[in-house]
Chains A and B, each alone.
Chain A
Amino acid sequence: MRIREPRGFGFYALALFFCAFVLFLYGPMIAIFVLSFQGPEGGLVFPMRGVSLHWFAKLMEGVGVVDIWAAFGRSLRLGALVTALTVIFSLLASLAFRKKLRFGSALFFVTVASLIMPSIIVSLGIGLSFRLLDSGLKGLFTAVGWEGALESFTTTMGLYSSALGAQLTWTLPFGLLVMFSVFNRFNPAYEEAARDLGATPWQTFRHVVLPLIGPAVVGVAMFGFTLSWDEIARSSQAIGDLNTLPLELQGLTTTVTTPVIYALGTVTTVVSFIVVGVTLGLMALLARRRRGGAQR
């Protein structure tokens, strides 16, 4: 056993700083959790005037003119799609980067550029592209005299076109970087062993590589969902007519003056926490199974 040095003044000062930081991170969030259980007469600030589920009940009825539950559903569906595409595309691309890939460094450069590009520029660009596409299509319909299409056509912008693309420009770089950091530490000896034993590339991938990188893939999925679930800046100008939940929420901050907005905040945060909890649990489980398998 190693003999431990006594902890010095530096440790206690830094530990105190760390605790203060954690309080700074979580304190305000706890405040709105508590306030979302505000009594019916209570307001946006402390003190609590009783404890009730009143504001959650109000939330169930909807907030003003906004159909919050429809937005909730849209965000969930879009998040699920973004998650699936982020996992598949990042995994495929990271596998490609392990081979000889022409234009590999160009693709990497674009990925990093997309990550650090100010979101409003990406959003404006996508909104603009779809508007030009719309007017191009309208021009085309007019030119070929297709009256029916011209009348029914409104816009190509939407949740599953422009907004999906906008969110992918944000989630894919995270996905690829996570996969990169895993494969940089990946020992290719396992694959060579599998290959030498006659495994096909698919078998090698399915039974050797995938179990080893499993926790990271789950992590990429979590990035995909939580980033999409909260995304505002990139989808804001590229969303079309129907808003996602965070966009509605952003609008509500200026108009809603009751604790119903805290109740909504609590609900969306609980969804995020469930996703993070499930992910971390799954990652731990996969890691344990891997270790267990190694011992067997």
Chain B
Amino acid sequence: MQAPGIATEAAALREAAPAARRAWSLPAWLQAMPMSLVFLLFFLVPLALIVAVSFWDASEYELIPAFTPKNYINVFDGCSNMSELCVTFKTYLSTFKFCFLTWLFTLVIGFTVAYFLAFYVRTPGMQTLLFVLCTIPFWTSNVIRMISWVPLLGRNGLVNEGLLKLGFIQQPLDWLLFSPFSVVLAFVHLFTFFMIVPIFNSMMRIDRSLLEAARDAGATPWQTLWNVVVPLSRTGIIIGSIFVITIVMGDFVTIGVMGGQQIASVGKIIQVQTSYLQFPLAAANAVILLAVVLMIIWALTRLVDIRKEL
């Protein structure tokens, strides 16, 4: 009779195991502590201070704790004038414009690329290879990727030279570089990645039999795309959109480099004010930007629960 012996032995082990677990296993709160502390010290406290300081006063060389709406009034200075837009509204309008164009292009390009990868590439190996090919540039320097447009789009760049040689233009085009055009181009170049990854991820979860069912029921490829694939990729589309929109709304690096430091954006205003140590004013601008971005995200997250999708 061997079986009972083994059974008791196993039972003994099982009893011993929880004791050992208690001895070794760290409590959950302790494991989560380092990350929580980083976010507390470098994210939550700074955010709280921004909100506080946006109501402070400042002299030339120091911050003065106070409670004054002065900074906000300053930000919206002249905005009650209806005949002409004030600087703040103009800047937001231009930032929204960049945001919308970038969102549109990254969405269309990102969706198409993800759609091709997910449904038209047949072997998983090839799929992985092509996906990695699309993501590798993301791991390289953004500034380098921006200035890499200079030899192509500059006054004497390849595009102008080519167009001149072909006789399409008589004068080099000036709007190719350091212009709103090059800013949007760089945004699309840099951030389509953020659309491809979540949309591809969503598409890979779509049950292939649904597509077959749609086809069997007589749907055209376009109908299948629009009525089956797009709704089922919604989560990816929304996550990608949140990424792209929040990045562009706060951007100052891309707009700075690709706009030749001549184009205004909300992020750039905050950066300039910070570098001149006008902290209360920069903080007020940051609070307003934060409110705008939160409203956009809130609207988008009404449509999705991120945590379920990982």
A83 contacts chain B at the CB level, 8 A cutoff: no
A250 to chain B, nearest CB (A): 5
| Min CB gap B16→A, angstroms | 7
B interface size (C-beta, 8 A) = 97
Interface string of A100-116 (1 = CB under 8 A from B): 11101001101111101
Bound-state CA distance A112–B310 (Å) is 12
Considering the chains assembled together, what is the distance between the CA atoms of A27 and B157 in angstroms?
Answer: 14
Binds B, one of A60-68, A142-150, A208-216, A267-275: A267-275
Q: Which residues of B contact A258 (CB under 8 A)?
A: none
CA of A31 to CA of B290, assembled, Å: 38
The answer to whether B147 and A265 touch across the interface, beta carbons within 8 angstroms, is: yes
Contact indicator B42/A165 (Cβ below 8 Å)? yes
Are A122 and B113 in touch, CB under 8 angstroms? no
Are B43 and A169 within 8 A (Cβ)? yes
Chain A residue contacts of B14, Cβ below 8 A? 196
Tell me the complex Cα distance, A230–B63, Å: 32
Q: Are A269 and B28 in contact (CB under 8 A)?
A: no
Knowing A32-B147, A45-B150, say if A118 contacts B293 (CB, 8 Å): yes
How far is A170 from B293 in the complex, measured between Cα atoms in Å? 18
Question: In this complex, what residue of A is CB-closest to B157?
Answer: A45
Q: Please, which residues of chain B bring their CB within 8 A of the CB of A184? A: 310
Chain B CB within 8 A of A25 CB: yes
User: What 0/1 readout, one digit per residue, does chain B (139-167) give for beta carbons within 8 Å of chain A?
Assistant: 11111111111111010111001000000
Which positions in A face B, CB cutoff 8 Å?
4, 7, 10-11, 14-15, 17-18, 21-22, 24-29, 31-32, 35, 44-46, 85, 88-90, 92-93, 95-97, 99-102, 104, 107-108, 110-114, 116-129, 131-132, 135, 165-166, 168-169, 172, 176-177, 180-181, 184, 195-202, 222, 226, 229-230, 232-233, 236-237, 246, 249-250, 253-254, 261-262, 265, 268-269, 272-273, 275-276, 280
Pairs across A and B, CB under 8 Å, 18 listed: A4-B122, A18-B116, A29-B140, A85-B34, A89-B38, A97-B32, A104-B28, A107-B32, A117-B43, A120-B271, A121-B250, A125-B49, A128-B279, A165-B42, A196-B10, A200-B23, A250-B256, A269-B140
